[in-house]
A = this chain, B = another copy of it.
Amino acid sequence: MRAARGEDALTARIASAVKRPGILLPAVRGGLHVRVGIGDDAAVINLPAQRYVLTTDTLVEEIDFLPRETPYWIGRRAAAANLSDVAAMGAAPLGYLLSLGISRKKDARFARRIVEGVISKMAPFRAELWGGDLSRAPSIFVTMFVIGKAERPILRSGARPGDRLFVTGSPGAAAAALESRRPRVGRAPSPREKPYLDPEPRVEFARALSRRRWATAMIDVSDGLAKDAHRLAAASGVRLALHAVSPGALTAASDDFELLFASPASRKDSILALGRQLGTPVAEIGRVERGRGVVLTGGSRRVRVMDQGYDHFA
């Protein structure tokens, strides 16, 4: 009898981790029925008729995380990035597939620790790992594909003149946290590194906005506040006038995974109360006007904000 080895052995270990009580839920819940999970050519899932969101996000070594980063935290960060896209639609994650590229310097344990990081970050949302793919690659990458449920998706395109603009958390904080992490990469994380290493996607807060129909447009801040504000403005055909934003927070090209959203002015107090209730920091940072682009306002001055931030293909 020969022990299983290599890729199949790793897949088997991941499959058994997924089945371990406390890590993930039983395969059958809430109308979803996983017929075949990890280990066949594809997963087989019974899905009820409804509206779904589908999203994918990839983290690449040296681009989205530091070289020599701890695999568990690479996994958590990858999961946060994908959860943030689901949150930005006001949706709830249901299940996901995971594709890993692992460089030759790293062993199977390294891959398994990434998977454990991903699972640990997805589990509180009851999102299940349905399958994936493992590859050797010149450098490390983590790609996730998430399916979520969205009764009332919040698009980028619904902001209207007169709406107020809000942001969760502190956009720009991830850039500062990354600088804290840089000299300490690979070590146990310190609290100040959290916005970079283990950001908190705003799933619950966004779901509450969606259920209450309080947001007219929403986007997650993944390439810097300036760039994503421009994206929301362009999709909605409006101008965003920002105040109470420091130029530093605006121009930091960082993956914050915070939410930028627009709401009718009448909802302002309710939104701030909702943030307090759910423990989600939220602040009003501007308003929606007729026009195009993004401006920074202060007293009587208005400064045009360039469409800048992180761009993979600039």
Contacts and interface: CB of A to CB of B under 8 A. Distances in A.
A179 interface: no
Given A35-B153, A51-B45, A88-B42, A313 B7 contact: yes
A89 B98 CA distance: 19
Please tell me how many copies of the chain the complex holds: 2
20 contacts: A5-B311, A8-B231, A40-B157, A42-B91, A42-B153, A43-B55, A44-B150, A47-B47, A47-B52, A54-B145, A54-B147, A57-B99, A58-B101, A60-B101, A60-B136, A64-B135, A111-B313, A137-B141, A138-B138, A145-B145
B44 A135 contact: no
Interface of A: 2, 5-10, 35-36, 39-58, 60-64, 85-86, 88-89, 91, 95, 97-99, 101-102, 108, 111, 130-139, 141, 143, 145, 147-148, 150, 153, 155-157, 218-220, 231, 235, 307, 311-314
A290 B227 CA distance: 62
Contacts of A155: 36, 40, 44
A99 B56 contact: yes
B36 A312 contact: no
A55 B97 contact: yes
B156 A40 contact: yes
A56 B312 contact: no
A269 to B, nearest CB: 27
A52 B42 CA distance: 10
Contact of A41 (B85, B108, B307, B312): B85
Nearest to A230: B8
Given A42-B89, A44-B150, A155-B40, A312 B134 contact: yes
Contacts of A314: 5-7
Contacts of A307: 2
Given A36-B155, A111-B313, 10 more contacts: A2-B307, A43-B53, A48-B49, A54-B97, A55-B97, A134-B313, A136-B312, A136-B313, A138-B139, A143-B143
A35 B157 CA distance: 13
B49 A49 contact: yes
